[in-house]
């Protein structure tokens, strides 16, 4: 009888943990910049344990200029003297001409580019 109670308690704990983690992912994310909510037609999403956010919505909130070249799949973000260039399909990026590598590639979702936060 004690084995049954222990097994039931362990099973309950495992199920409780699974339910909690599922509901945490289901809630989505509220984006803000300097305390001001940032809205987008496309929601943020987790890919390879990394949060990806809609680039244009965040860049606009930060006062950046964005450009997307569909022929080369090049994404450019400019603010003051800083220029960040990324390409879809690769983790390679450039910050003011210096090559850097991201751990997650930008993706497109419903016509919106999502980029990793970090």
| Over residues 41-55, mean pLDDT | 89
- Return the number of other C-beta atoms located less than 10 Å from residue 104's C-beta: 18
pLDDT surpasses 90 at 17: no
Q: Which fold has domain 2-116?
A: Copper Amine Oxidase; Chain A, domain 1 (3.30.457)
- Please calculate the CA angle 49-118-103 and round it to the nearest 5 degrees: 55
Compute the chain's Rg from CA coordinates: 20
pLDDT surpasses 90 at 3: no
pLDDT surpasses 60 at 56: yes
Q: For tokens 């450039």, name the residue.
A: 94
pLDDT surpasses 80 at 22: no
| Four-point Cα dihedral 94, 117, 30, 21, nearest 10 | 150
User: What's residue 83's pLDDT?
Assistant: 96
Q: For tokens 């992912």, name the residue.
A: 25
């Amino acid at each position: 009888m004690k084995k049954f109670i222990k097994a039931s308690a362990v099973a309950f704990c495992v199920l409780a943990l699974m339910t909690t983690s599922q509901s945490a992912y289901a809630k989505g994310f509220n984006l803000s910049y300097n305390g001001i909510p940032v809205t987008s037609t496309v929601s943020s999403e987790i890919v390879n344990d990394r949060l990806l956010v809609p680039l244009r919505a965040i860049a606009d909130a930060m006062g950046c200029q964005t450009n997307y070249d569909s022929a080369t799949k090049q994404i450019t973000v400019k603010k003051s003297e800083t220029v960040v260039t990324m390409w879809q399909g690769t983790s390679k990026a450039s910050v003011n001409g210096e090559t850097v590598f991201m751990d997650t590639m930008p993706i497109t979702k419903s016509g919106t580019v999502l980029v990793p936060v970090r």
